[in-house]
């Protein structure tokens, strides 16, 4: 039955109609690897028509991503119509809760797409993209297909349609959010189940690392979430932003005024949590804080107005710099006592033409999602996530830094010899620009690969704060004894790279990749990466000497161990 269904689907993909694009080695290997575990699908993958068809499907992921997003957006308008049509179908209705239970081969692998529910358990082994399909289990396909836009083709939809088993309940389709007054977090938005949750309330989560390196621009659904409190519900119509502290008095702006009175700018900037990779410090000695892996970092294109323009409209003049040193931000999110989240940045970063600080109302071309600060957040390129205040309520120009806990008594770095008995938070400056960073997103630690693969592809990200451009990533397969230079890119694969940013304005990360032969007679690889920025800053070698009691600024070389399985046939 499965065989028949597949043949039926595949017959629609004529080899003649598919060009033989060159496949990125990682994807090709990945597909073969998955197949090698399943003899039946392996044979199919080797048949010429299947291989070529998939090659075509897989090629140019990056190139068609923009199209895919557009296409997806265009389709959204039609969704309700489609649903109305499909509602009279004979398929049973499932809730999102029920769908979410099906996330493994044992329980079945269910996904949703445009209001329909699909059981793709049997398709998993045949998925040309390999294991990645597992990430989508229990949730919606849309964000994955936005990321891997190759799926936005008629043929793929036809394959998918053969696995349909039901409809998603109308409530879940509409994602109606019933506010339960007893739980301040009950109005938090829905999140994608693929995120690894470090804390549910407040919500703090990161995507699987491999997703990061699959898209130069991280789709908003997968962008790491770092909330301190419940997500505030902000009505865009009544929203007001207050700008205080300047000689002209308070300037108050509605969302509409913000969007219409000032020119719109877009900036592609990477944000990173100060605690990214904290889990590696925890392995040395316990620290306080969320146990982030390597994915509390993401890259997005932000749209909004320049903070500089708004400050000028509010009365900022150069002589203000004689007394003012900081620009404070207050979020609309607050704790149980009513204290709002707050932070500040240096005035010269805020008002500099080169600083590119945005009051952003768009993320990746759409309204800011609730988790990312709807309707307005600050984006401070090159500066630690904590200063990129979300749900922005107030801007205050001041002689003083923000007096908030997060500016004064958190997000600071200390010596490894400093403990909670001796720490003096006044002795260290608040983190602003972050140091050089890089990590390996794939393979993941503990991966086993077959000797007959002959080579290994390693991928990751690299970024530095302060607009310093990453100029090189060195990768070692032997724990740091010998080094190879990785290939950098600042766009999606197959897409023309963005032109080099002006000096000091490299706000976005670089993705990197290297394919190297498997060293002979080695049973385990210790893969290491380290990046260099254009001030030639390097990452420290090891974690213990940079360990600090809050587990911030964890930027030692990233290390991943991979085992090589010598004899595939014997297993």
- Give the active site residues: 127, 151, 226, 273, 411
Complex with its own copies: residue 16 or 426, whichever CB lies closer = 426
Alpha-carbon distance of 97 to 84, in angstroms, equals: 22
Complex with its own copies: residue 369 or 540, whichever CB lies closer = 540
Does position 428 bind its own copies by CB under 8 A? yes
Does position 504 bind its own copies by CB under 8 A? yes
- Which of positions 186-205 make contact with its own copies (CB under 8 A)? none
Complex with its own copies: residue 48 or 417, whichever CB lies closer = 417
Q: Which of 213, 432, 457, 490 binds its own copies (CB under 8 A)?
A: 432
Does position 388 bind its own copies by CB under 8 A? no
Which residues neighbour 377 within 8 Å (Cβ) at sequence distance 6 or greater?
359, 360, 368, 388, 389, 390, 391, 392
- Which of positions 342-371 make contact with its own copies (CB under 8 A)? 346, 348-349, 354
Does position 524 bind its own copies by CB under 8 A? no
Alpha-carbon distance of 355 to 330, in angstroms, equals: 20
Interface region with its own copies, contact rule CB under 8 A, candidates 44-52, 91-99, 195-203, 408-416: 408-416
Does position 539 bind its own copies by CB under 8 A? yes
Does position 542 bind its own copies by CB under 8 A? yes
Q: How many residues bind its own copies (CB under 8 A)?
A: 45
Does position 471 bind its own copies by CB under 8 A? yes
- For residue 121, give Cα distances in angstroms to 106, 213, 232: 9, 26, 38
DSSP string, 189-233: PP--TTSEEEETTTTEEE--HHHHHH-SSPPTTTS-EE-SSPPP-
Interface region with its own copies, contact rule CB under 8 A, candidates 38-46, 77-85, 102-110, 498-506: 498-506
Alpha-carbon distance of 526 to 478, in angstroms, equals: 5
Does position 466 bind its own copies by CB under 8 A? yes
Instruction: Retrieve residue 544's tokens.
Output: 């213990």
Which among 402, 326, 333 is positioned nearest to 370, based on CA atoms? Answer: 333
Percentage helix, strand, coil, to 5, in the chain?
A: 30, 25, 45
Does position 417 bind its own copies by CB under 8 A? yes
Q: Which of 416, 501, 518, 564 binds its own copies (CB under 8 A)?
A: 416
Q: Which of 124, 312, 423, 538 binds its own copies (CB under 8 A)?
A: 538
Alpha-carbon distance of 226 to 494, in angstroms, equals: 31
Alpha-carbon distance of 322 to 315, in angstroms, equals: 14
Contact 462, 488 (CB under 8 A): yes
Bridge pairing between strands 93-94 and 164-168: parallel
Does position 102 bind its own copies by CB under 8 A? no
Cβ 245 to its own copies shortest distance, Å: 19
Contacting residues toward its own copies, per CB under 8 A: 346, 348-349, 354, 413, 415-418, 428-429, 431-436, 465-466, 471-472, 474, 480, 482-485, 502-504, 530, 532, 534-542, 545-546, 553, 555
């Amino acid at each position: 039955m499965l065989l028949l269904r597949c043949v039926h689907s595949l017959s629609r993909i004529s080899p003649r109609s598919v060009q033989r694009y060159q496949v990125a080695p990682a994807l090709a290997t990945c597909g073969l690897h998955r197949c090698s575990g399943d003899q039946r699908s392996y044979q199919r993958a080797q048949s010429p028509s299947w291989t070529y068809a998939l090659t075509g499907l897989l090629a140019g992921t990056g190139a068609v991503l923009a199209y895919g997003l557009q296409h997806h957006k265009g389709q959204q308008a039609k969704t309700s119509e489609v649903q109305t049509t499909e509602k009279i179908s004979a398929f049973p209705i499932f809730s999102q809760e029920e769908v979410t239970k099906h996330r493994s081969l044992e329980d079945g692998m269910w996904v949703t797409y445009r209001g329909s529910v699909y059981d793709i358990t049997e398709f998993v082994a045949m998925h040309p993209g390999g294991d990645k399909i597992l990430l989508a289990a229990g949730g919606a396909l849309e964000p994955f297909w936005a990321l891997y836009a190759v799926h936005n083709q008629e043929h793929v939809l036809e394959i998918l349609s053969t696995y349909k088993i039901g409809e998603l309940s109308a409530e879940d389709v509409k994602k109606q959010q019933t506010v339960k007054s007893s739980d301040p977090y009950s109005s938090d938005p829905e999140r994608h189940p693929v995120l690894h949750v470090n804390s549910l309330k407040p919500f703090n989560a990161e995507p699987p690392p491999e997703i990061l390196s699959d898209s130069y621009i991280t789709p908003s659904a997968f962008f790491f979430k770092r909330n301190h409190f419940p997500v505030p519900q902000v009505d865009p119509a009544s929203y007001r932003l207050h700008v205080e502290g300047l000689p002209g008095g308070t300037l108050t702006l509605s969302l509409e005024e913000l969007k219409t009175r000032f020119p719109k700018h877009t900036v592609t900037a990477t944000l990173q949590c100060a605690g990214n990779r904290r889990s590696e410090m925890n392995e040395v000695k316990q620290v306080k804080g969320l146990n982030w892996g390597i994915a509390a970092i993401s890259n997005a294109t932000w749209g909004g107005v320049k903070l500089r323009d708004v400050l000028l409209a509010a009365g900022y003049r150069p002589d203000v710099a004689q007394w003012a040193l900081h620009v404070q931000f207050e979020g609309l999110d607050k704790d149980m006592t009513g204290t709002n989240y707050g932070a500040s940045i240096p005035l010269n970063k805020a008002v500099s033409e080169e600083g590119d600080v945005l009051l952003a109302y768009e993320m990746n071309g759409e309204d800011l999602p609730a988790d990312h600060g709807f309707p307005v957040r600050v984006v401070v390129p090159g500066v630690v996530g904590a200063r990129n205040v979300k749900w922005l309520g107030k801007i205050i120009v001041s002689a003083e830094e923000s007096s908030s806990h997060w500016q004064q008594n958190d997000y600071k770095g200390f010596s490894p010899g400093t403990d909670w008995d001796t720490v003096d938070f006044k002795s260290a400056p608040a983190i602003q620009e972050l140091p050089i960073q890089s990590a390996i997103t794939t393979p993941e630690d503990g991966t086993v690969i077959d000797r007959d693969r002959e080579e290994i592809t390693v991928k990751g990200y690299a970024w530095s704060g302060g607009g310093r451009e990453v100029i090189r990533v060195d990768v070692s397969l032997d724990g740091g004894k010998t080094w190879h230079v990785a290939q950098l890119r600042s766009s999606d694969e197959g897409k023309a790279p963005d032109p080099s940013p002006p000096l000091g304005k490299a706000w976005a990360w670089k993705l990197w990749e290297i394919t190297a032969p498997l060293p002979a007679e080695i049973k385990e690889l210790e893969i290491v990466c380290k990046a260099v920025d254009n001030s030639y800053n390097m990452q420290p070698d090891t974690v213990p000497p940079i360990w600090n009691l809050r587990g911030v600024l964890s930027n030692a070389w990233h290390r991943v161990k991979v085992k090589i399985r010598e004899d595939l046939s014997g297993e």
